[in-house]
């Protein structure tokens, strides 16, 4: 059984993310019960990685990170709805626009 992350644990994950410890935060999140809150934190990690890739002009990596979250969220969608009657969160408008830009630049 996967552990459920509560407010305190998610607060710790946000702290790891803000410290740049993305791999560590992601590892904990992927071992936890996949709730919309957990997937939202994974979305934020993908967003951070995509923005980092954009800074160095790696448009393929931008697409990889943002599309990777989309695929992961799609895989867990039914589970989240069954668990708490809520789908995983989509990308923000900013990240959705970044994904479109990255797809154009990467091709």
Which domains are delineated in the chain? 34-106 (1.20.58)
pLDDT for 28 beyond 90? yes
Are 104 and 97 in contact by the 8 Å Cβ rule? The answer is no
The owner of tokens 């800074």 is 55
Q: How far is CA 13 from the centre of its chain?
A: 12
Tell me the C-alpha distance between 69 and 90, whole Å.
Answer: 9
pLDDT for 1 beyond 90? no
* pTM of the complete model: 0.96
Share of the chain above pLDDT 70, in %: 100
Tell me the C-alpha distance between 84 and 76, whole Å.
Answer: 12
Q: What is the pLDDT of residues 29-70, one digit of tens each?
A: 999 999 999 999 999 999 999 999 999 999 999 999 999 999
Task: Return the DSSP state at 56.
Answer: T
- Which tokens go with 106? 């990467």
For range 5-23, the mean pLDDT: 97
Name the phi and psi angles at 7, rounded to 5: -60, -45
């Amino acid at each position: 059984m996967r552990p459920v992350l509560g407010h305190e644990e998610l607060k710790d994950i946000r702290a790891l993310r803000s410290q740049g410890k993305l791999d560590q935060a992601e590892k904990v999140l992927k071992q936890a019960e996949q709730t919309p809150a957990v997937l939202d934190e994974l979305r934020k990690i993908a967003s951070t990685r995509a923005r980092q890739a954009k800074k160095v002009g790696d448009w393929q990596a931008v697409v990889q990170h943002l599309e990777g979250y989309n695929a992961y969220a799609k895989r867990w969608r039914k589970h989240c709805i069954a668990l708490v009657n809520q789908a995983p969160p989509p990308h923000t408008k900013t990240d959705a626009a970044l994904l479109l830009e990255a797809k154009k630049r990467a091709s």
